[in-house]
Amino acid sequence: MKKILLAINADHVDTEIIHFACNIATQTHSALTGFFITPYREEEQVINMAFGMPYVENLVVKELPGMAAIKEKLELHISQFERTCAVKGVRCNVVCSNTQFAAQSIIEESRFADLLIMQANMTFEDKLEEAPTGFVKEVLAEAECPVLVAPLNLEDINEIVFAYDGSRAAVFAIKQFTYLFPELADKKAIVLQVNKDDTLPVTEKEKLGKWLRMHYSSIGFQVLQGKPTDELFGYLLGKKNTIVVMGAYGRNWLSELFKPATAGLLLKAINLPFFITHY
């Protein structure tokens, strides 16, 4: 991995997420791009009418009341980000985008990144939103690189849980995570399968186990019986120092996890980092 993208709300910067991203960048020897989303803008285009014909006019808005304060806050938070990266020895750069195009712009930027880090409660709405917010759901659905949804309380990673349902999406997520984080090869890796009746087919288990042993020093398989979403929630609840790897939008039970009710429950109630990518 070479380039990490960190989504930052320029109005409400959480220093913990910057430290978390810096630690990931240090561990993987990657550069970190701070993607600051801000209401500040210098110009905006408006459509006016003249002689019955529409025309586009560029208005200078940087001198409007309140814009100076927004710009000052943005510059302060950028400096804070750059100082933190410098102290941690992380190569960094900054990209700014307006809140009007927040989701679209970060999705486009993700096309040229190896990993996107964001928080589940990130929003630009005035009203309170439950995690994951509408903004986060949109980015998760359309991001063109894997997304690491950071927890509220950030801890070291000692265990990897691969949520597995036998789908191509699940295997793709396992591979993506493994390729991006070879530094975690010495961590305990658990393949978690939830079945309504039958267990994981032996051939599948043997093939997956053989591949994982080429990359991890310690692997294990855990098979649970019951409703997949309920069993996964119960298994992860209370866990610490664990990262969860999921292939969203597969055809099987993993796709159910990202229906609004289930995704909200997982990302809100379980304080763990979630690595999410879709096939």
Over range 121-141, report the average pLDDT.
80
Total residues found in the chain within this entry: 279
Q: In order of start, what are the domains of the chain with their CATH numbers?
A: 3-38+68-150 (3.40.50.620), 159-278 (3.40.50.620)
Over range 33-40, report the average pLDDT.
84
What integer pLDDT is reported at residue 134 of this predicted model? 83
Above 90 in pLDDT, residue 197?
A: no
Tell me which of 21-25, 58-62, 70-74, 265-269 is least confident: 58-62
Above 50 in pLDDT, residue 194?
A: yes
Above 60 in pLDDT, residue 61?
A: no
Above 60 in pLDDT, residue 267?
A: yes
Report the relative pairing of strands 274-278 and 147-150 from DSSP bridges: antiparallel
| Confidence (pTM) | 0.85
Tell me which of 47-56, 247-256, 266-275 is least confident: 247-256
Res. 279 pLDDT band, cuts 50 70 90: confident
Tens of pLDDT, residue by residue over 235-257, are 988 888 999 998 874 445 445 55
Whole-number Å distance between alpha carbons of 174 and 178? 6
Q: What are phi and psi of 276, to 5 degrees?
A: -125, 130
Q: What angle do CA 220, 167, 7 make, to 5 degrees?
A: 85
Query: Are the C-beta atoms of 159 and 242 separated by less than 8 Å?
Result: yes
Tens of pLDDT, residue by residue over 154-182, are 778 899 999 888 888 889 999 999 999 99
What integer pLDDT is reported at residue 250 of this predicted model? 43
Q: Nearest-CA neighbor of 90 among 184, 185, 4?
A: 4
Higher per-residue pLDDT: 92 or 151: 92
Higher per-residue pLDDT: 154 or 23: 23
